[in-house]
Structure 1
Amino acid sequence: MSTTSVLCFLLCFISQQCMFTSAAGGSWALLQENVGIAAMHMQLLNNDRVIMFDRTDFGPSNLSLPNGNCRNDPNDRTLKVDCTAHSIEYDVLSNTFRALTVQTDVWCSSGAVMANGSLIQTGGFNDGEKRIRIFTPCNNKCDWVEVPNGLAAARWYASDQILPDGRMIIVGGRRQFNYEFYPKNTAPGLFSLPFLLETNDRGVENNLYPFVHLNVDGNLFIFANNRAILLDYVKNVVVKTYPTIPGAEARSYPSSGSLVLLPLKNIQAPNVQAEVLICGGGANGSYTQSLRKKFLPALDTCARIIITDSNPEWVIETMPLRRVMGDMILLPDGSVLIINGAASGSAGWEQGRNPVLSPVIYRPNNPIGSRFEVQNPTTIPRMYHSTAGLVRDGRVLVAGSNPHVYYKFTGVLFPTELRLEAFSPDYLNAQFDNIRPTIVAPVNQVILYYSQNQNVRFSCTGAVIQNQVEVVLVAPPFVTHSFSQNQRLLVLGNNKMTVLSNNLYNVEATMPPSRILAPSGFYLMYVIHQGIPSQGIWINLKQR
């Protein structure tokens, strides 16, 4: 056994997270030893740059702003003149980063990418709670632009979702039982949402960062605490109330399970099925008990529900590893990566214990009982305020972890983490290179239209099995606090394949038929062959 294998074995043994009965796979690479900030928030943009940022009111970071470009904030509670950065732009292709400037506090905020590719970031804490911040992709000269009083209500721990009409809806936040839109059509534009008040437990606000997804009927699926509704946000009417999740444990922040909308298939059909998966979270009482230094075991269950069924029911599955504060990332092959977090405790300052070092792959199409595969572990605990996000080549960037009010590197169980890693799923192994497709056409950044039949040309050195080729679109999410906002994967229809020449093929794929299924904007397109994805290309999906 190699030194690395021995180290991984010992780390697993100490954290009691090894499950040797499941398959292990995937690999890890350290990309940066120090990016200067703890990445609490993360978003991939269509120029292959990743925006990361932390809170601004904990004192200096480990990255200086260029040319003495200090942040002067008279409202900051810690450091009113701050010459360090609290946001960076990471260039995936060159593995480099640069400092960005945010002027007000972005702590526990939310965001989404609009149709034009700009990241719209909403809310935060203190003087940042009503701010809109805009970051537009560029070549190394742009920075955050801030809009004072861009929000009608203070938004701290809110969730954002892009809508079919191109607007963004901002839902909830601490003690905000309402929603609003950006940009606004009316003033002040606040709409009451009693569901968020009903799920607001006394003493523990288990309705923060509500899980919000655009359903295939155009309504919003909203999950908070242990309950879910389907909201017609246009009429402000709840059109469906889902069963309470079995066990009645809260799954949203600070219990901090993670929820994902599973891949959408047969999207040309008149009735598309939509299903959500929620995994992990804190046990009942975990938040209050962790304040007393008693760390309850995290949940080891996942629950699935078909939200488009007339009489939907939750189906419970058992994970191989307990997990709270995990992230769930849709991979191009349609599987779900469950990564980061702890095996006991809760979200909050110093309130988690027993880091879960091993990711898990969940394969939603496998029979129940054979869906989980434990992956090779990292050596870096990723606790409270960790993030993870897919990039174009199929890797997953992993960053953050700072369960402290300030940056602390010594004398604590889990030091503030400034290292940036990449997890490579098994599909990137060199052994699959002979069946891995390479997209030849269209070119990166192509504009495509709804319902368009698009020829996708790809090469492959090995033999291609026609009925095992598909084309998918992935919407990269805004990731924070165990929720990947606006994450979406669509399996495109048609997939009629022809052989063009030796090792060169064409597959015809039909774009989504409507903005309800796929809001306009930038998506990653992948060709999948025998479960092995190509490198992605950016496409810009538009209405003619």
Structure 2
Amino acid sequence: MINSEKTFIITTSILCLSIAIGEPVPFLMQLDRWEVLLPSIGISAMHMQLLHNGMVVMFDRTDFGISNISLPGGMCRFDPSDTAVKFDCSAHSVLYDVVSNTYRALKVQTDTWCSSGSVLPNGTLVQTGGYNDGERAARMFTPCGYSETCDWIEFPQYLAQRRWYATNQILPDGRIIVVGGRRQFNFEIFPRPDYHRYKGSRFEFLRETSDGDNENNLYPFLHLLPDGNLFVFANTRSIVFDYKSNRIVRVFPEIPGGDPRNYPSSGSSILFPLDETKNVMEAEIMVCGGAPKGAFSRARSQHGFTRAISTCGRLKLSGSNPIWEMETMPLPRVMGDMLLLPTGNIIIINGAGSGTAGWENGHDPVTQPIIYHPFDRRFSIMSTSSRPRMYHSSAVLLPDGRVLVGGSNPHIYYNFTNVEYPTELSLEAYSPPYLSFTSDSIRPKILTNDKIVGYKRLFNVNFFIAQFLTIYLLSVRIVAPSFTTHSFAMNQRMVILKLLSVTRDGLTNSYRIDALGPSTAEIAPPGYYMMFLVHAGVPSSAAWVQIE
């Protein structure tokens, strides 16, 4: 027997179909599901980045203490400035192979706590900042085979300023902008300009949005816009920023409610898919969740946990008078991760129902993701995970359409006993309803594709599908994999490409697509993307393409 609460959760995704066709649901079918992939990877996955070879780099911080995985070959690190353990033979980073569901230890030397990252056009992960001896560090990880020995390469004093709680964004020319950080009202460019004593550039907007010691503008939300400028959201305010000339070109109204949305209030934000099939390219932002003003100080002083924010704001950036349009989530959430699914829907996953980010500051874990359907502005409550994912959890979209979830450690050190929310070392995968076997007949399968896609250049994709309904239900989408930490998926973006034609091969029952690459590097910066075919709301597994 299924209790009434659980019945609502697992049937949400099929009720809409039932209502649409006017038929009752004859039986209950759980179309989405959770799966524990590994009970432990030895570390708590505070930061995650999917690479174009199907591996995921994960790491926490070096000053959590001894982790549960040893460095290989008897390696150790000696760090006299480490606040937890100065001689450490355990790892604080791992490389996870999605296909084989295995992992191996990586060696990171400097402290990566609350750092940021982006992937260069050649596929190398650039990871910036952190705490203590890592605050000015730049680290690079170049993908290799799982059995090979690639590892972190570090440049401990590379950055112009201390970067703790900063945000990164890949730029149209392949460089990376690194914005903010604790008491850093400035930004800098990676790789740094080739002149002496480069200190970055002042960014007074961050000073203006700082909220005292809490700040509430850390990990500012950055989105690269189709015109090449940046959308920047900090605390309650947002602007369009021309980083080349260091000037604000547009100021938007404050998000209604007056409550902060950035760390430690820790809401999240996404840029809606950019659609090349439309005559006019529109950019729209969404900001969801967070903690009300004063929640951080109340939690720290043990005066209680304040209910998280349940609202989302949508902001279309075009037009003469943009205004926030507010939505209400079915579940309040702080520290939730927002990811674009291949369908263009948005999943909000992980987090808490009350409190804020910070040590022991969160309560009431929210173990049910919600999926937001932008077209009809509808939320669906999904199935429940068995594992709370609180402070220091993360999530990324995988090429097979699942969402990889890891991390959660709301304690100063690793702590597994006598605490309400133990340190979580496991990995889970969440499968949205579109991965149900009930959709297999209309699911595209990419057979071959052009590996390199040029701007405004024709490219081809060959695919198979058992039941092709119509070309009008088919789309080609590229998704930039995110660097996810602290409730924000940096560099995440989706572009819907222009589909020119679909032809059928009668002998093999396969199909060929002719499509156009993205128009500009401002719309899709150079680099590796997951390319999905979506048919009638059902995505294929992704093929990797390099935009150049």
Task: Give the TM bin, normalised by the shorter chain.
Answer: over 0.9
CA offset digits 1:311-356 (Å, max 9, x no partner):
2100000100010000001111111010000000000000010000
The answer to whether the aligner puts 1:184 opposite 2:189 as a matched pair is no
- The one-letter code sitting in structure 1 at the alignment partner of 2:76 is C
In structure 2, the partner of 1:15 is: none
Instruction: Choose the corresponding residue for 2:266, options 253, 256, 278.
Output: 256
Structure 2 unaligned blocks of 5 or more: 16-29
Does the 8 A contact of 1:435 with 1:462 survive in 2?
yes
For 1:381-400, what aligned pairs fall within 5 Å after superposition? Answer: 381-400=388-407
- Map Cα deviations across residues 223-249 of structure 1 (whole Å, 9 max, x no partner): 000000111000001000111000111
**Displacement of 1:429:** 0.5
Equivalent in the alignment of 1:489: 494
- Aligned amino acid, residue 371 of structure 2: I
Contact in 2 for aligned 1:268/1:513 (Cα 8 Å): no
Deviation for aligned residue 1:189 = 4.1
Preserved CA contact (<8 Å) 1:212 1:485: yes
Give the whole-Å Cα distance in 2 for the aligned partners of 1:331 and 1:147. Answer: 35
- For 1:197, the equivalent position in structure 2 comes to 207
Q: Which position in structure 2 is the counterpart of 1:468?
A: 473
The residue number in structure 2 matching 1:161 is: 169
User: What is the DSSP-based 3-state SS (H/G/I as helix, E as strand, rest coil) of the residue aligned with 1:102?
Assistant: coil
Whole-angstrom distance in 1 between the partners of 2:537 and 2:413 = 43
* Uncovered stretches (5+) of structure 1, i.e. residues with no partner: 13-17
CA distance in 2 between counterparts of 1:376 and 1:426 reads 10
Relative to structure 2, which stretch is displaced further, 198-207 or 501-510?
501-510
2:446 aligns to what?
439
Provide the secondary structure at the position in 2 that maps to 1:57.
helix
**Cα distance change of structure 1 residues 254 and 267 upon mapping to structure 2, 3 Å threshold:** farther
Instruction: Supply the distance in 2 between the matched residues of 1:236 and 1:349 (Cα, whole angstroms).
Output: 35
Question: How many pairs align?
Answer: 527
User: 1:36 is matched with which residue?
Assistant: 42
Separation in structure 2 between the aligned mates of residue 240 and residue 490 of structure 1, nearest angstrom:
24
Q: Which residue number in structure 1 is paired with residue 181 of structure 2?
A: 173
1:355 partner letter: P
1:242 equivalent to 2:249? Answer no
The whole-number CA distance in structure 1 between the counterparts of 2:364 and 2:500 is 45
Please, which of 124, 143, 146 is the counterpart of residue 151 of structure 2? 143
Equivalent residues of 1:255, 1:346 under 8 A apart: yes
Equivalence for 2:460: 455
Contact 1:25 1:376 in 2 (8 A): no
TM-superposed deviation, 1:494: 2.7
Q: Quick check: 1:129–1:155 contact (8 Å CA) kept in 2?
A: yes
Structure 2: how far apart are the matches of 1:27 and 1:429? 9
Q: What is the CA-CA distance between 1:508 and the residue it aligns to? A: 1.8
Q: Secondary structure at the match of 1:195?
A: helix
Q: Which amino acid aligns with 1:37?
A: I
Question: 1:440 offset after TM fit, Å?
Answer: 1.4
Q: What per-residue deviation string (whole Å, max 9, x for no partner) do you get for residues 209-230 of structure 1?
A: 0000101110010000000011
- For 2:446, the aligned partner's letter is I
Distance (whole Å) between structure 1 residues aligned to residue 37 and residue 499 of structure 2: 39
Compute the displacement of 1:448 (Å): 1.4
Residue 344 (structure 2) pairs with residue 334 (structure 1): yes
1:184 positional shift: 1.6
Q: Superposed, which structure 2 residues align to 1:269-308 within 5 Å?
A: 269=279, 271-293=280-302, 294-308=304-318
1:88 aligns with 2:98: no
- What pairs with 1:221-240 in structure 2 (closer than 5 Å)? 221-240=231-250
Name 1:210's counterpart in structure 2.
220
Structure 1 residue 265 and structure 2 residue 275: aligned? yes
Equivalent residue, structure 1, for 2:357: 347
Deviation track 1:111-153 (CA, whole Å, cap 9, x = no partner) reads: 0000000000000000000000000001231000001211000
Q: Deviations over 1:296-316 (max 9, x none)?
A: 110111100012333210000
Amino acid corresponding to residue 304 of structure 1 in structure 2: R
Rounded to whole Å, the distance in 2 between the matches of 1:189 and 1:442 is 44
Deviation at 1:19?
10
- In 2, the alpha carbon distance for the partners of 1:19 and 1:356 equals 16
- Cα distance, 1:285 vs structure 2: 1.2
Q: Find the aligned partners of 1:309 and 1:114 in 2 and give their Cα distance.
A: 33
Preserved contact between residue 450 and residue 511 of structure 1 (Cα < 8 Å): yes
How far did 1:267 drift? 5.8
* Stretch deviating more after TM superposition (124-133 or 139-148): 139-148
Deviation at 1:462, TM superposition (A): 1.4
State how far apart, in whole Å, the 2-side matches of 1:508 and 1:464 are: 18
Is the 8 Å Cα contact of residues 437 and 533 (structure 1) preserved in structure 2?
Answer: yes
Q: CA deviation at 1:372?
A: 0.4
**TM-aligned CA deviation for residue 25 of structure 1:** 4.6
The CA deviation string for residues 139-191 of structure 1, in whole angstroms up to 9 with x for no partner, is: 23100000121100000000000001111000000000000000122441410
| TM-score, normalised by the number of residues in structure 2 | 0.94
Letter in 2 for 1:209: Y
Identity over aligned residues, as a percent? 51
- Conserved 8 A contact 1:470-1:495: no
Which amino acid letter does the alignment assign opposite residue 72 of structure 2?
Answer: P
Matched, 1:415 2:414: no
Equivalent residue letter for 1:283: P
Q: 1 CA distance for matches of 2:113 and 2:448? A: 41
Question: Secondary structure of 2:262's partner?
Answer: coil
Partner residue of 1:538? 544
